[in-house]
Structure 1
Amino acid sequence: MNISTEEVNRIAKLAKLKFSKAETIKLTSEFEKILEHFHSMDKLALDDIDLHALEKGAQTSLRKDEVEVFEDKESLFINAKTVRDRYVEVPKIIE
């Protein structure tokens, strides 16, 4: 499956990402490999596979929830660019 650099640039624009020309070419190649892999998976005969076989008898291990008081709240905001009261401010991403 062929992916063009224009398609990679379009996806990058939608994701608000910027890539150099070399990165775009590399990503084009990587996207092609990923899509080829999915295409090869589509060719597999999976009609006789029981999709729920792993669920039967499966146990999830969950830890018990325990309330802990965290005293050093200032250390949580050390790497935040802007903090107002106890909230981290982030730039608006939806236009």
Structure 2
Amino acid sequence: MKISIDEVNYIAKLAKLKFTEEEAEKMAEEFEGILNHFESIDKFDLSDVQLDIYSEDLMPHLRKDVTSVFEDKKKLYQNVKSMTNTCIKVPKIIE
């Protein structure tokens, strides 16, 4: 599947990224490689695979939640552009 530079630039705009022309060309080639890989995976015959089998032996491995206090608040908020008290303001991203 051929990915155009315009499609890469559109995806970059949605992700609020900026690429140079060379980076966009490289990204288009990488996207093509990923999509070609998915096309090759799509050719596998999975008709005999049963996905609805559930094993009672399979249990999720959950970690224990441990709370901790982050002492260095200045370091924690060093990259924040806009704050009100301890709330971080983020821009609206829905188009």
Give TM-score scaled by structure 2 length. Answer: 0.76
3-state SS of 2:83 partner: strand
Asked if residue 11 in structure 1 is aligned to residue 11 in structure 2, the reply is yes
CA shift for structure 1 position 10: 1.9
Q: Could you tell me how far 1:73 is from its partner in structure 2?
A: 5.9
Supply the distance in 2 between the matched residues of 1:69 and 1:16 (Cα, whole angstroms): 33
Per the alignment, residue 20 of structure 2 pairs with 20
Q: Distance in 1 between matches of 2:39 and 2:26?
A: 20
1:33 — aligned with what? 33
Aligned length: 93
SS of structure 1 residue aligned to 2:44: coil
1:84, CA displacement in angstroms? Answer: 1.9
Superposition CA RMSD, Å: 2.3
The unaligned stretches of length 5 or more in structure 2 are none
Where in structure 1 are there 5+ consecutive unaligned residues? none
Alignment correspondent of 2:87: 87
Query: For 2:13 and 2:77, how far apart are their aligned partners in 1?
Result: 30
Match of 1:72 in 2: 71
TM-score (norm 1): 0.76
SS at match of 1:93: coil
The one-letter amino acid paired with 2:7 is: E
Q: Kindly state the Cα deviation for residue 87 of structure 1 after the two structures are TM-superposed.
A: 1.2
